[in-house]
Amino acid sequence: MSIEIRNLTKRLGGKTILDRVNLDIPEGSLMALLGPSGSGKTTLLRIIAGLEHPDEGEVLVRGEASTAQRPQDRHVGFVFQHYALFPHMSVRQNVAFGLEVKPRASRPSREVIRARVDELLALIQMDSYGGRLPSELSGGQRQRVALARALAVEPRVLLLDEPFGALDAQVRAELRQWLRRLHDVSKVTTVLVTHDQEEAMEVADTVAVMNRARVEQVGHPRDIYDHPASAFVAQFVGQMNRLHQVEEGTAFARPHEMELSLDASEGEAAQVVKVVSVGPLACLRLRLSSGLELDAHLSRERLALLEIKEGDHLFVRPSRVQVFADDYSI
Amino acid sequence: MTFTRRPGFALSTGITLLGTSLMILLPLAALALKAIHAKAGTFGTVLVDPRVRTACLFSLGAALAAALFNLVWGSLIAWVLVRYPFPGRRLADALVDLPFALPTAVAGLTLSALYGPKGWIGHLIPFPVVYNRIGVVLALSFVSLPFVVRSLQPVLEELPREVEEAAACLGATRWATLRRVVLPQLMPAILSGFALSFARAVGEYGSVVFISGNLPFKTEIAPLLIVVKLEQYDYDGAVALAVIMLSISLLVLASIHLLHRRFGGPSRV
């Protein structure tokens, strides 16, 4: 286990930011901390880096208690949402910084540093940008430089705080894939904080969903999507229709698990309020006679087969219903 | 470069030029004109006068010393005011402007009373502070302190903490972060604070006359010598001295400006 988080609690001004959080992050894995803003995920990341201190509990890195260590001694690479590059230094100087500030005894020679910087610039595909200043780069380029800078010191752990949050959707998608490939090559234990479930699902080996200062569920992205542990996770990860109250709580169903039919024996009557068919899926908004509105996703072939238009009446039935206890809020 | 006329250009430039002319250029032009019409040889006489030379050098030296002192002291004050929340911070922040609000003569009198041989602070210091060159530097530091603090404060406030955190995570000690990351970013503001502080100190008169003792060849400053010359109806001499001081000050400010450009733009490799 590379990082073990034990009973971590952090309070700030009467508010509990982290509430007895436990989490194991395996060596060499890429874990996403997914949650809405204010769920405590960034604070957890900053505590792992030593930038903030917990009130209770501890963080073990490779079995070694690191809670009392300064950030300088933890060998973590930290990448910030807003890059935090040194604005007065060139790209090369930024990347070399961590090596150049090493104590004389362990500092590599000038040639070694230069070679290492060249290697990292090649890795982030910015060989020819070494002399540029951060202000002369695009957001995506800046974040790649920030990553190279963090990797230069060969950290034990790489911590990414919403690294793509400030970028355009297209650049974000590219960098996401690039990060995944980078991780496959470097195998550095990585923790990625994000509020974007798509990002977490696409990049991470394991996702930890956080809500209200606690970790609600840890698991493989697919398991979290298919078997959410709570109503919060069900609704935060992927879309979910809230159906009706049952004895044990509330019943939910995913939009792609809604079966549509023109046959009255197959479910409840509904009217089609809106049809959006862009891309491979058609997204339908349905209104039941009770006034409840539901989403249904189906392939465009199926849509064409059923000949559904806005305003049509049809019948809907969930193929799979999940029930969660009512103790939640978003 | 092509020049495109933006809306409001004529009016705003006109008002600016008028204001600058009336308040800055015209007096300076009058000084230059007066200097041109001065008796032949006045400049020579003034320049070789050892009393003048000593006063000019002392004025510049004391102003530089005060500005350097403020560089360190003012930076520290700005740092504490921005980085550490403490009770009474807003009051302390307001107090920084006090040297601007106080009539400088009052400042001079107060300082000489406080630091005089029988003063509250003066009697604790084993060497005399008032009526010598240390006193002059003290007074000049006091009146020009706010410049460094006020030029540094907004820049410090804007400095993202994440940049320092990034340096710490990369293994940089606090000292290395300060020296390699924080200071280079503050350098332009520090230098302009230094320049303003110096300019203010060179021209200071009111507080110095009360604390210096005004001894020729010892604690006499150039602005005082100008007043002395005026009192003796030596207008040409006063003008010559003013022009000399003005040129030296401009030279110093220009070199600070060059330094500013050197540090101001981020360095390139």
Could you report the per-residue pLDDT of B86-111, keeping only the tens digit for each?
999 999 999 999 998 889 899 999 99
More confident residue, A249 or A190: A190
Q: Helix (H, G, I), strand (E, B), or coil: what is residue A311? A: coil
Helices marked H in A20-138 — which ranges?
Answer: 41-49, 91-100, 110-123
Task: Decide which of A327 and A202 is more confident.
Answer: A202
The whole-number average pLDDT for the span A108-136 is 94
The yes-or-no verdict on residue B133 having pLDDT over 50 is yes
Q: Residue B100: enclosing H or E segment and its boundaries? A: helix B98-101
Q: How far is CA A243 from the centre of its chain?
A: 27
* Cα–Cα distance, B37 to A59 (Å, whole number): 81
Strand-pair partners of A157: A76, A189
ipTM of the complex: 0.86
Find, in chain B, the residue whose alpha carbon is nearest to that of A154. B170
pLDDT digits (tens, 9 = 90+) for A132-190: 999 999 999 999 999 999 999 999 999 999 999 888 888 899 899 999 999 998 899 99
Identify which of B85, B73, B93, B67 has the alpha carbon closest to the alpha carbon of residue B154: B93
Tokens standing for B254? 């220009």
Beta-carbon contacts of A24 under 8 Å, excluding residues fewer than 6 positions away, are A1, A3, A4, A5
**Cα A58 to chain center, whole Å?**
23
Distance from chain centroid for Cα A33: 6
- Residue B187's identity, in one-letter code, is M
How far, in Å, are A5, A50, A180, A248, B177 from residue A75 at the CA level?
17, 10, 21, 48, 16
CA distance A208 to A213: 12
Shortest Cα distance from B183 to chain A (angstroms)? 10
| Sheet containing A241-246: order of strands | A241-246, A249-253, A322-324
The conformation of residue A108, written as its DSSP 8-state character, comes to: P
What proportion of chain B, given as a percentage, has pLDDT over 90? 51
Q: Does B185 touch chain A (CB under 8 A)?
A: yes
pLDDT digits (tens, 9 = 90+) for B180-216: 999 999 998 999 999 999 999 998 988 998 888 888 8
pLDDT at residue B269, as a whole number? 33
237-266 in B: which are within 8 Å (CB) of A?
A: 266
Contact B180 A71 (CB under 8 A): no
Contact residues of A toward B, CB < 8 A: 49-51, 70-72, 74-78, 80, 82, 84-90, 92-93, 97-98, 101-102, 131, 133, 135, 146, 149-150, 152-153
Candidate from B165, B176, B184 with C-beta closest to A101: B176
Position B265 pLDDT exceeds 70: no
Q: What is the pLDDT of residue A330?
A: 46
Instruction: Render pLDDT for A295-325 as a digit per residue (tens, 0 to 9).
Output: 999 998 888 888 888 888 999 999 999 999 8
C-alpha dihedral over A255, A261, A265, A267, to 10 degrees?
Answer: 10
- pLDDT interval class at B136 (50, 70, 90): very high
The first and second tokens of residue A311, run together, are: 């305003």
Residues from chain A that touch B167, judged by Cβ atoms under 8 A, are: 86, 97, 101
**Closest by Cα among A45, A4, A228, A88 to B188:** A88
User: Average pLDDT, whole number, for chain A?
Assistant: 91
* Interacting residues of B122 by C-beta distance below 8 A, sequence separation 6+: B114, B115, B116, B128, B129, B130
Average pLDDT of the residues in A69-75:
90
- Taking the CA atoms of residue B195, residue B201, residue B203 and residue B208 in that order, the dihedral angle to the nearest 10 degrees is 180
The pLDDT value given to residue B143? 93
Q: How far apart are CA A76 and CA A74, in angstroms?
A: 6
Judge contact between B186 and B193, C-beta under 8 A. no
Matching residue, tokens 């403020």: B70
Closest-CA distance of chain A to residue B157, Å: 15
Give the residue from A101, A114, A145, A159 with the most B CB atoms within 10 Å of its CB, the best one to mutate: A101
pLDDT of residue B266: 44
Q: Which of A160, A137, A178, A185 is nearest to A48 (CA)?
A: A160
Q: Which of A78, A81, A86, A94 to mutate to test the interface with B (most CBs of B within 10 A)?
A: A86
Answer whether residue A70 shows pLDDT above 60: yes
Measure the CA dihedral B28/B33/B34/B36, to 10°: 130
Contact present, A167 and A175 (Cβ < 8 Å): yes
* Contact predicate B176/B167, CB 8 Å: yes
Interchain contact, A97 vs B170, CB within 8 Å: yes
What residues does A181 pair with on adjacent strands?
none
| Mean local confidence (pLDDT), A206-210 | 96
What is the reported pLDDT for B268? 37
Asked whether B77 and B96 are in contact (CB, 8 A), the reply is yes
Of B144 and B253, the structure prediction assigns the larger pLDDT to B144
Which of B166, B173, B268 lies at the smallest CB-CB distance from A78? B166
Nearest Cα of chain B lies from the Cα of A71 at a distance, in angstroms, of 5
Test B166 with A149 for CB contact under 8 angstroms: yes
Express each pLDDT in B139-184 by its tens digit. Answer: 999 999 999 999 999 999 999 999 999 999 999 999 999 999 999 9
Q: What pLDDT is stored for residue B264 in this prediction?
A: 56
In chain B, the residue whose alpha carbon lies closest to the alpha carbon of A160 is B166
CA distance B156 to chain A (A): 14
Residue A150 falls in which region: left (phi positive, over 0), alpha (psi -120 to 50) or beta: alpha
Mean pLDDT confidence for A54-68: 89
Judge whether B180 and A101 are in contact, CB under 8 Å.
yes
Report the distance separating Cα A288 and Cα A307, nearest Å. Answer: 19
- Tokens representing A21 are 């959080």
- Quick one: tokens of B87? 């009770």
Residue B37 has pLDDT above 90, yes or no: no
Q: Please, how many CA atoms are within 13 Å of residue A294, restricted to the half-sphere of its CB?
A: 31
* Beta carbons of B150 and B193 less than 8 angstroms apart: yes
Residue of B nearest to A149 (CA): B170
Encoded amino acid at A83, one letter: Y
Which amino acid is it at A314? L
Contact A80 B167 (CB under 8 A): no
Among residues 126-165 of chain B, which lie with CB inside 8 Å of chain A?
Answer: 160, 162-163, 165
CA distance B169 to B177: 11
Q: How far is CA A97 from CA A77, B141, B170, in A?
A: 13, 37, 8
Averaged over B225-244, what is the pLDDT? 90
Reported confidence tier of residue A327, pLDDT bands at 50, 70, 90: low
Distance from CA of A326 to the nearest CA of B (A): 40
Say how far apart CA A62 and CA A48 lie, in whole Å: 12
Q: C-alpha angle A83/A88/A91, rounded to 5°?
A: 60
Instruction: List the single best residue of B169, B173, B267, B269 to mutate versus A (max A Cβ within 10 A).
Output: B169
Taking CA atoms, what residue in A is nearest to B183? A88
- Could you tell me whether strands A293-299 and A281-288 are parallel, antiparallel, or unpaired per DSSP bridges? antiparallel
**Minimum-distance CB partner of A82 among B162, B172, B173:** B162
* List of E strands, A162-248: 189-194, 206-211, 214-219, 241-246
Among all chains, which residue has been given the structure tokens 């290395």?
B176
Residue B58 contacts by C-beta under 8 Å, 6 or more apart in sequence? B133, B136, B219, B220, B221, B222
Lowest mean pLDDT: which of A19-33, A115-129, A278-292, B72-86?
Answer: A278-292
The nearest alpha carbon in chain B to A150 belongs to B170
A152 CB neighbours in chain B (<8 A) are: 170
Distance CA B240, CA A167 (A): 62
* Pair of tokens at residue A47: 């505590």
User: Mean pLDDT in chain B?
Assistant: 89
**CB–CB contact B170 A131 (8 Å):** no
Question: Cβ A97–B173 below 8 Å, yes or no?
Answer: no
* Entry pTM: 0.82
- Work out the average pLDDT over A211-225: 94
